[in-house]
Structure 1
Amino acid sequence: MPSDAKILIVDDHEETLYALESALAPLGYRLARASSGDAALKEVLRGQVGLLVLDVHMPDVSGFDVVRYLRRLEQTQHIPVILVTGFGPDAELTTTAFRLGVADLVMKPIDPWALRTKVRYLYDAHQRYLRMKQEVRELRSLVKELPPPNQTLEPETRLDTRVPPQRPVLREHDQTA
């Protein structure tokens, strides 16, 4: 069952937003959309975004600008980002994307099956990471509550390490009728 975190789809073209939503809808995740880099940043900062599918080339705030900003903030630096570009394979673009910590780069026209596979994998991996991070926090708080190793426990809080008495086993010939 998907968590309540949403997948944010960002593109400045309405038809591309619609196509991406149509491709990802069968996954069953909550989807949200933004039509600019600025709107995407605002949505991510509100919280509950588990993954971004983000167009590279947008007016004003580009996809690269969005990723640069997200990677500077502790609460958003680990959100997976799939960049989408219609400019075909470009070594400089690819190098820049992966240096920024983008999880994947997808070329238009988009293969819906491939996109769903990538989104499912990255989204689920990020959710596992967040659950593990929460478990680590909980374990650390439990460890802080433990007494130091060299401190002796009070008699009433010591663990009883004695072996419990054994109940006698009755055998058939021991029983009297």
Structure 2
Amino acid sequence: MTPPAPDTAPILIVDDMEENLVALEAVLSSLTSTVVRARSGEEALKAMLREEFAVVLIDVLMPGMNGFETAANIKGLDQTKDVPIILLTGASVDPNYAYRGYTVGAADFLIKPFDPWLLRTKVNVFLDLYRKNHQLASQADQLKRLLTGPTPMESPATPAEPHGPAHAPHAPEDAPAPAPAPPVGDEALSDIASRLVQIELLLRDARDIESAGLADRIAALEQSVERLMAGREA
């Protein structure tokens, strides 16, 4: 499964009726440049294994694999279990449908006919979260590269004097040996690495927590690492 560029934030819409797909695409096209259609649950699963989606909208009443079964299968796969699902159904439905939707892992449940503004608002929440997660993951990767990058090269040895070691200066015999230079930035580097681990743990659960402010924390860490690396190179 190839992740797309975060600015595209693709949406998958699943319905067995063409007119419903056309209506959904018209409502959602203003939010993203990529809206992918699927005419069945099986087709939706195949699409999700090929491509990463920010959110999936699934009609409940479909022949073959219905919306509940499709959602359960999506949540049962490691590659797709974290993708949020919105289930859609008609007004004259079983009142327990909403409960069934949440038990199979759906994030939201809407009854047709729905307000286009309400649908766009709900979907846009997941699109924004998808973009933020990609931004956080990208910044975490940058920090990893800084933390695990090559160490600065040591200064080249002073070339020998052309007339041999007899002319090389030497310290008095009673002069104390110079103390080895302490490692530069080790404590700060350890602290940054520890905080990076904490952020990675937050990233794993970013869909279930308030992610605002994490990007700023990572950016501050990145600046600290850059200053540290600059000090080690000096």
Q: TM-score range by the shorter chain?
A: 0.7 to 0.9
TM-score (norm. length: structure 2): 0.57
Distance 1:141 1:97 in 2: 41
Tell whether 2:44 aligns with 1:40.
yes
User: Do the aligned partners of 1:2 and 1:28 also contact (CA within 8 Å) in 2?
Assistant: no
Which has the larger share of strand?
1
User: Do the aligned partners of 1:5 and 1:49 also contact (CA within 8 Å) in 2?
Assistant: yes
Structure 2 unaligned segments of length 5 or more: list them. 152-179, 186-229
Instruction: Indicate the residue corresponding to 2:173 in structure 1.
Output: none
Tell whether 2:153 aligns with 1:127.
no
Question: Could you say if the C-alpha distance between residues 68 and 137 of structure 1 is closer, same or farther in structure 2, counting changes exceeding 3 Å?
Answer: farther
Q: 1:62, CA displacement in angstroms?
A: 1.2
Structure 1 unaligned segments of length 5 or more: list them. 148-153, 162-177
User: Do the aligned partners of 1:88 and 1:108 also contact (CA within 8 Å) in 2?
Assistant: no
Distance 1:90 1:127 in 2: 35
Deviation per CA, 1:71-113, whole angstroms, max 9, x where unpaired? 1222211111111001446442111211222111111112111
Give the match's secondary structure for 2:56.
strand
The 5 A counterparts of 1:8-157 are 8-88=12-92, 90-136=94-140, 139=143, 155=181
Task: Please give the root-mean-square deviation of Cα atoms over the aligned residues, in Å.
Answer: 3.1
Give the match's secondary structure for 2:78.
coil
Distance 1:30 1:117 in 2: 17
User: Do the aligned partners of 2:57 and 2:88 also contact (CA within 8 Å) in 1?
Assistant: yes
Deviation per CA, 1:113-133, whole angstroms, max 9, x where unpaired? 111111111121133234334
Which is greater in Rg?
2
Percent identical among aligned pairs is 36
Amino acid at match of 2:184: R
Distance 2:143 2:6 in 1: 25
Instruction: Indicate the residue corresponding to 2:198 in structure 1.
Output: none
Distance 1:32 1:141 in 2: 34
Give the match's secondary structure for 1:52.
strand
TM-score (norm. length: structure 1): 0.73
Instruction: Indicate the residue corresponding to 2:218 in structure 1.
Output: none
Which stretches of structure 1, 4 residues or more, deviate above 6 A after TM superposition? 144-147
Question: Could you say if the C-alpha distance between residues 146 and 73 of structure 1 is closer, same or farther in structure 2, counting changes exceeding 3 Å?
Answer: farther
Amino acid at match of 1:62: N
Question: Could you say if the C-alpha distance between residues 139 and 77 of structure 1 is closer, same or farther in structure 2, counting changes exceeding 3 Å?
Answer: farther
Give the match's secondary structure for 2:30.
helix
Instruction: Indicate the residue corresponding to 1:172 in structure 2.
Output: none
Distance 2:100 2:134 in 1: 26
Amino acid at match of 1:27: L
User: Do the aligned partners of 1:56 and 1:85 also contact (CA within 8 Å) in 2?
Assistant: yes
Distance 2:30 2:79 in 1: 28
Give the match's secondary structure for 2:21.
helix
Amino acid at match of 2:74: L
Amino acid at match of 1:95: Y
